[in-house]
Chain A
């Protein structure tokens, strides 16, 4: 009897924190990168506030919730140009009393900032970098990943292609480092789920402009030449994060085959066409506020800030240690319009999440696919599962 009432009391405290007399101020930092990528499609050109917009919308959402709990959220952002030092940005935010930082930085910059901020008790939420090494050998105890890893994206695509019985892949990868890393992830996924890469080719970036006035004429004869004489295959899988060639592949391959990976059917954390599971509401809020579509990067930043909001509303604390302890525990979950709740893998601090497969017009499917089973969570069929981890959180 006594035991029961103790449990009940704990439950009450856990879910209904008493209103504090004064407002709890939660300051969140944002370090972003101004993307200068040139893309093949004009529709893909990154907006100046790519990522940041998602974080700002989530701060609004957190504040709508916060007003009922006497909690207030504010965002301070620093947008970096190519050569700017992320560690200096970290220091600036830290000096302003901020210990929770959402980062859209390349892997090296993120590690640099996180390591420099560790002694100051800073925690980073990785909203941009998909690098597998950040979840493996280069994982950090103060870096939580809201962005999916390349391994998760590759696995999500592989599961669908295998479910379709499109198991013979022709892999074309770009010549830049991120392209090669994505190709590595796709090779790993193929092996994991029983697909076979029947041919690999590298598409070298020879430095030409993405767009020229009459370029289409050349491209429609170049791509058939590039893709001809391959052994018979089911699907052309591209790894082209640098956006040099993949968008040229659909409808131009030598053999009539579907295209996936960096063009065609793409694994992604978000797509502007997606409206299921209440996503329509988030899309509407976003387009109303920013007059543009919401991208995967925006969604990852939104999720990172919502993770913080969720942990603050449950713990009634703005303390980075308390928040991360709660996130790593069994009670943390965040809803992000993907059907399942998103939780944190305690072995590498990666947020578990379903991955959308979008063709640029609609969402074709959402992985994990039916039949890919797991003893704990089907979401752990995507990316590095506990037995695969090389991460040592220290």
Chain B
């Protein structure tokens, strides 16, 4: 009995210590590099030279590559995750900024800021296979959890566009506040959250009725309201909490999904834009453009527990599955 108890503690400690280490890749918009971070030691283990102005960044579904949108080179580069070298590129169309993959990981939908289009790319064939006309300055991209609807936000048109990925056409558009940057679905697909950077709000949209049902506003004591500029939105897998990066307000808001109320503001680095959870949902990494670092938020305790220095103007972050 006693032995088993000790063994139990030992096992628990073993698991705690050997929490799986993941790999995070962070795009540094100004340095033209990608920083590779080990989430166990929280150290940058490699800095990879990429094309000009790297912004949107994501693993391919098979984890073989990390895709980086290099806007000023009009291409999406593929970093081989074994060699950490650029091993190819995708024909992205002009000025790619952000993208989302389809459910099978084969198709990639790219927001081309300069062209009012969403470009569709076949990743295995590395070929451009179609385009959808959207509003002015497309930016945010996300696929619904069931893979049936693709969302694109257009910054000057101030809309979330609902795109049928099969028909490749816009089936609905919803007006939100000024300069929508990012869109995220709740895991059950019943709510679409869209941040408006200049408007300073997050709109919660009913994706069936295509209407804004709630508008979340932010207020941080001592902070001028114009500095609160929401960009990245990340929602926990069980759909309880949403994290919203507030840009030059240097805070991440934690929101209760059920009540749409802000529970807490976490102080992170300067000009926080994009974020990503580790796959075990223990940590949330944030890119802080003006302080050139990544903040590590402990999701359970809602505390910032670490900071990792990266390149200049870190923009996006992607984390390995294992």
Chain A interface residues (CB < 8 Å from chain B): 8, 11-12, 15-17, 61, 64-65, 68-69, 278, 281, 284-285, 306, 310, 313-314, 333-335, 339-341, 377-379
Contacts and interface: CB of A to CB of B under 8 A. Distances in A.
11 contacts: A15-B174, A15-B177, A15-B212, A15-B215, A16-B210, A61-B157, A278-B113, A278-B137, A281-B95, A341-B200, A378-B226
Interface residues of B, number: 35
A285 B95 CA distance: 12
Contacts of B155: 278, 281, 335
Interface of B: 95, 113-114, 116, 135-137, 154-159, 161, 170, 173-179, 198-200, 203, 210-215, 224, 226, 248
Contacts of A377: 224, 226
Contact of B203 (A15, A333, A335): A15
Contacts of A339: 248
A68 B135 contact: yes
B136 A15 contact: no
A205 B181 CA distance: 50
Contacts of A64: 116, 135-136, 157
Contacts of A61: 136, 156-157
A65 B156 contact: yes
Given A15-B176, A284-B114, A335-B155, 5 more contacts: A65-B159, A306-B156, A313-B175, A335-B156, A335-B178
A69 B159 CA distance: 10
B158 A65 contact: yes
Given A16-B210, A281-B114, A335-B156, A68 B161 contact: yes
Contacts of B248: 339
Contacts of B158: 65, 310, 313, 335
A336 B203 CA distance: 21
A69 B173 contact: yes
B32 to A, nearest CB: 16
A379 B211 CA distance: 33
Q: Is the interface of B mostly helix, strand, loop or mixed?
A: loop
A266 B145 CA distance: 51
B215 A333 contact: no
B173 A12 contact: no
A378 B224 CA distance: 8
Q: Which of A314, A335, A378 has the most CB of B within 10 A?
A: A335
Given A11-B215, A335-B155, A281 B175 contact: no
Nearest to B176: A15
A334 B196 CA distance: 12
Given A335-B178, A340-B198, A16 B211 contact: yes
Contacts of A313: 158, 175
A162 B246 CA distance: 30
Contacts of B135: 64-65, 68
Contact of A11 (B198, B210, B212): B212
Contacts of B226: 340-341, 377-379
B212 A333 contact: no
Contact of A68 (B156, B157, B176, B215): B157
Given A335-B179, A341-B198, A12 B211 contact: yes
Nearest to A352: B226
Contact of A16 (B200, B212, B214): B212
Nearest to A341: B198
B161 A334 contact: no
Q: Which of B156, B176, B178, B215 has the most CB of A within 10 A?
A: B156
B198 A335 contact: yes
Contacts of A65: 135-136, 154, 156-159
A377 B174 CA distance: 29
A378 B170 CA distance: 39
Contact of B212 (A12, A334, A335): A12
Q: Which of B158, B174, B213 has the most CB of A within 10 A?
A: B158
A111 B313 CA distance: 47
B213 A8 contact: yes
Nearest to A64: B136
Contacts of B170: 68
Contact of B199 (A17, A306, A333, A378): A333
Nearest to B180: A335
A15 B202 CA distance: 13
Contacts of B213: 8, 11-12
Contacts of B210: 16
Contacts of B214: 8, 11
A339 B290 CA distance: 14
Q: Which of A11, A16, A378, A379 has the most CB of B within 10 A?
A: A16
Contacts of A334: 178
Contacts of A314: 175
B175 A15 contact: yes
Q: Which of A285, A314, A341, A378 has the most CB of B within 10 A?
A: A341
A68 B159 contact: yes
10 tightest A-B CB contacts, nearest first: A65-B157, A68-B173, A335-B198, A335-B178, A341-B198, A335-B179, A340-B226, A12-B211, A15-B212, A64-B136
A313 B210 CA distance: 16
A249 B175 CA distance: 50
A64 B117 CA distance: 11
B224 to A, nearest CB: 6
Q: Which of A15, A284, A310, A334 has the most CB of B within 10 A?
A: A15
A85 B74 CA distance: 49
B173 A341 contact: no
A365 to B, nearest CB: 15
Contacts of B156: 61, 65, 306, 335
A334 B156 CA distance: 9
A49 to B, nearest CB: 21
A313 B158 CA distance: 9
Nearest to B174: A16
Given A65-B158, A281-B113, A313-B158, A333 B175 contact: no
A339 B170 CA distance: 29
Contacts of B211: 12, 16
Contact of A285 (B114, B154, B173, B178): B114
Nearest to A283: B114
Nearest to B53: A280
Contacts of A340: 198, 226
A68 B179 CA distance: 16
A365 B200 CA distance: 23
Contacts of A15: 174-177, 203, 212, 215
